[in-house]
Structures are given as structure tokens and as C-alpha cells.
Amino acid sequence: MFTRVCCALALAALPLWPALAHDAPSKNATVTLVAEHELPNVPGKSLKAVLVEYGPGGFSAAHTHPDSAFIYATVLEGAVRSKVGDAAEKVYQAGDSFVEMPGDHHAVSANASDTEPSRLLAVFVVDTGETVLVRPDQE
């Protein structure tokens, strides 16, 4: 139920929110902030949702998120290849979800297809003051 509500809210708000200005280096990928709301019962924390859209063969560079961020991600369309923390790389299909704990390293985030697009919704619970949600690895 929570996933469906978040997806519906994010998709409904999509035209209202600009693209994030701090995307990780990527190929054929777009990250858009689609929802942001302070949590009334958790002072200092907000829910922020981003829609990640990958074209065929698209990917985001390896990255981390703010230390305060807990992330719940669900694949909305297609398939996404992901490797978070020490877990093995895995392909998630539409309807599958995964979490990222504070401090996790996201080594792989990519469309699993070279011919079809994919989309995922990442819902952050993060410190309200955080504005940079994606921090590319230093080269």
C-alpha cells in the first residue's frame, strides 16, 4: 500500500518539480525530484522522492547519499541492475524494491536492458536541510 501511494504521489507531482541540479555523472539517465514534505512527527526529517529514468543502456555513476538518508526504492518500469553496499549485484524487475541504509555505497545503478527504458522511484527519509541527494564518487 505504501509503495502504491508513494508511486501515485510521485507520478502526479512529476510535472511540478524541476530536475535535480546535482545528478551523478551518468549516461542516458535523468533524476527528477518529484515530492518533498517535512515529516510532522519527526522533527528535522523530510520525505523526498526522486524519479530515476534510464534510457536503453543508461546508468548512473557510482555514488553515495547523505549520511542521514534511508532510501526505499521500487522499480516502476523495465529492469534495473543494482549493487548496494556489500550485497551482490542484482537485477530488479518492475514491482521489485530494495533499501539503502545510511552510509551505503551504490556501486551499480543501471538499466538492465540495452533496448528498453527503465524507471525507479527512490523515496528518501533524510535530514530536512539536505539538498544534495546524490554524491558521485571522487575519481
pLDDT(83) > 80:
yes
State the residue range of the domain holding 78. 2-136
CATH number at residue 67: 2.60.120.10
Give the pLDDT confidence score for residue 25 in this predicted structure.
57
* E strand or H helix at 89: none
Q: Which residues contact 74 (CB under 8 A, 6 or more apart)?
A: 3, 6, 7, 95, 96, 97, 120, 121
Q: Indicate the number of domains in the chain.
A: 1
Q: What is the pLDDT of residues 6-59, one digit of tens each?
A: 444 444 433 333 334 344 457 889 999 999 999 999 999 999 999 999 999 999
Average pLDDT, the chain: 84
Give the pLDDT confidence score for residue 10 in this predicted structure.
42
Instruction: Compute CA distances 25 → 21, 32, 85, 138, whole Å.
Output: 11, 14, 19, 11
The alpha carbons of the chain give a radius of gyration, in whole angstroms, of: 14
